[in-house]
Structure 1
């Protein structure tokens, strides 16, 4: 029984995530997107916040406008898991890529900067945590090799250590707080 009830919820969630990501790629707020796509603002707001399990006669025309605007090949693709990734990676997404290439590069650049900042902050936090607990690099099995060149690689080496397990919970909580903060700043 739980599988039967979870499939519609899963489809609804997938649709919501895809539509939110498509709007993010368009770099427009909901009101601008609704006007540009040619759908009612209230309809778009509802689709973004509550999702949709499947198309029907009432929403077919608006869904087709969404697929046309975003160059999504088929209406059913709106329920495809990780739609934006699929559009970027597959030949079927060529029109999507052509239309939103500049926006996608801008988003990737912002994500790279945010990840770099998180990696640097995480490394500083790990070092602070180690000093506070008087833990040496030996305790977390971190011995930088000559080929370690970036903070990201240092963090990866630390996390790969079998002696770093007691830090992983701390790091996960910190990571969730940082990513939550980034998400909140995007919506503000």
Structure 2
């Protein structure tokens, strides 16, 4: 499946925050990219604001348009507040769980670990980044992959108490999903209601 492989700093500057992780360029150029990045811009329309928020969510979680729409439609069919359920579904993706557990410093890196068969769910290899992890599932590093330097470096000094809905076992390099995260447990700066309003117009 195609992924965005362009300059990530440019996208981060567009949204004014490091949505792909720590970014040296963003700290130096905290204004939008382009020739007129520093100049005053016309007021963005309501639709433009809503579209921008959807793009922010897509780039943050590394999801393409079709997959994002399918996830939204699933959220609509589920119980609960649609916007919150949407974020909960995105948070439940295997690549995101690997990232949240600190096994990889970025979601892109986590996606690669999953695709390259380094990750197991309940003891079985799963190489689908979009796989939905459920409460009670245990996500960990494959036995043969525990010596990977990239994993060791990512886990070094990582604060595993950041996410109360995940429980980390240092001895087995695995984490258990205790429950679906509450909205307050999701730190992403995404205004999910704007995404709901955008799709309601289509």
Q: Which has the larger radius of gyration?
A: 1
Q: TM-score, normalised by structure 2?
A: 0.24
Larger strand percent:
2
Q: TM-score, normalised by structure 1?
A: 0.25
Larger helix percent:
1
Higher RCO, 1 vs 2 (CA within 8 Å, ≥6 residues apart): 2
